[in-house]
Structure 1
């Protein structure tokens, strides 16, 4: 009751379902726009972190943090080798204690920003002439190690929508000493792009490789519901213009 467990994978699903729930309220309770926007950005951010985890779980961190983690891994291997020969030597710490310290350090480290991760994962962010048949862009078996952090075909429309919504989310979360209003007419179309992006993350398979069949089904249903709800609202916007 008083403990809440979260991971990037569960966070993406929870935020997506919350976005759908809040979007159903916006016509009668305008405050729901705030929570629909923030939960949409939370879902995208969690999906990107999950997609970048890699086989060592460090892809979403900055380069310095990744280097430190890999150094720790090499140190672990060295300690394990020595400890197997010197079981009682106090100079070699317990591997479990080392692991716990590392996990605490991970919680204190900052991951890349949402927009940096989005740029990193987008196919169209590669330099002109990049080899799209190379190891990071070829078709892969769903959920295999080769899909870790793989590039996906993020459209310019998705990038614009997510960038805009993230900026709006930051203004909503970081309260300023002013009164202001937001024109929400462009939000439904952008939430449609968010739904399409999350569908890409689902199809790529790596980000949500730990989902149970029931969780994967829930995610797919929520993506379709978000797309349908945002589309219906966008049609109403178009009808009033």
Structure 2
């Protein structure tokens, strides 16, 4: 058997999640269960963009919990005296905390965006409900039937695209991408905003 590998990173994961929103949306009219993949891909793209924005040059610090950041600082600080030190496990903040963090002034990993990423209180509450009540239900599907109203998902998709665009334009999160990759991400975000959703 020949092994097959793919290579990716947190930036490529965001770009791939955005593209998957577009692909899954194309099937939502003919297969209502495709909405699940729209929701999961939207959530994944948003979370990943926040992680990319917050992470400092001492990765993964910036996007991890406070306790985990302390563990990482201790580990990184002790490497010179103990090169065999055990690297801590990465414990990312959950999406609610990531969204609150990107709103703060200077939230970019290099502290450069003085205004923070604009997410109003009502938008934040809406995204938190989307994550908790819809995304989590789809991702951790229990043995139950349920009905879900999907009429608000196109508006959430546009909001997610706008937030990711703001993160992209802040300059830090996707700084290692070349111009062509950043332009492709801009085009994909525009495509998300222009999706003709099933009615």
Under a length normalisation based on structure 2, what TM-score does the superposition of the two structures give? 0.87
Runs of 4+ in 1 over 6 A off after TM superposition: none
Stretches of structure 2 lacking an aligned partner (at least 5 in a row): none
Q: Once the 2 structures are TM-superposed, how far is the Cα of residue 50 of structure 1 from its aligned partner?
A: 1.0
Residue among 163, 167, 188 paired with 2:128? 163
Indicate conservation of the 8 Å contact 2:68/2:90, yes or no: yes
* Aligned residue in 2 for 1:15: 17
* Aligned residue in 2 for 1:75: 78
Cα RMSD for the two superposed structures: 2.4
Indicate conservation of the 8 Å contact 1:53/1:60, yes or no: yes
SS at match of 2:194: helix
Mapped pair 1:208 → 2:170:
no
Indicate conservation of the 8 Å contact 2:113/2:170, yes or no: no
Stretches of structure 1 lacking an aligned partner (at least 5 in a row): 80-92, 124-131, 138-142
Indicate conservation of the 8 Å contact 2:118/2:163, yes or no: no
Q: Once the 2 structures are TM-superposed, how far is the Cα of residue 51 of structure 1 from its aligned partner?
A: 1.1
Q: Larger Rg: 1 or 2?
A: 1
Q: Once the 2 structures are TM-superposed, how far is the Cα of residue 62 of structure 1 from its aligned partner?
A: 1.3
Residue among 91, 110, 115 paired with 2:91? 110
Q: Which moved more, 1:35-44 or 1:16-25?
A: 16-25
Mapped pair 1:26 → 2:28:
yes
Distance 2:186 2:126 in 1: 20
Indicate conservation of the 8 Å contact 1:47/1:198, yes or no: yes
Size of the aligned set, in residue pairs, is: 195
Q: Which moved more, 1:14-23 or 1:181-190?
A: 181-190
* Higher helix fraction (1 or 2): 1
SS at match of 1:217: helix
Q: Once the 2 structures are TM-superposed, how far is the Cα of residue 19 of structure 1 from its aligned partner?
A: 0.6
Under a length normalisation based on structure 1, what TM-score does the superposition of the two structures give? 0.73
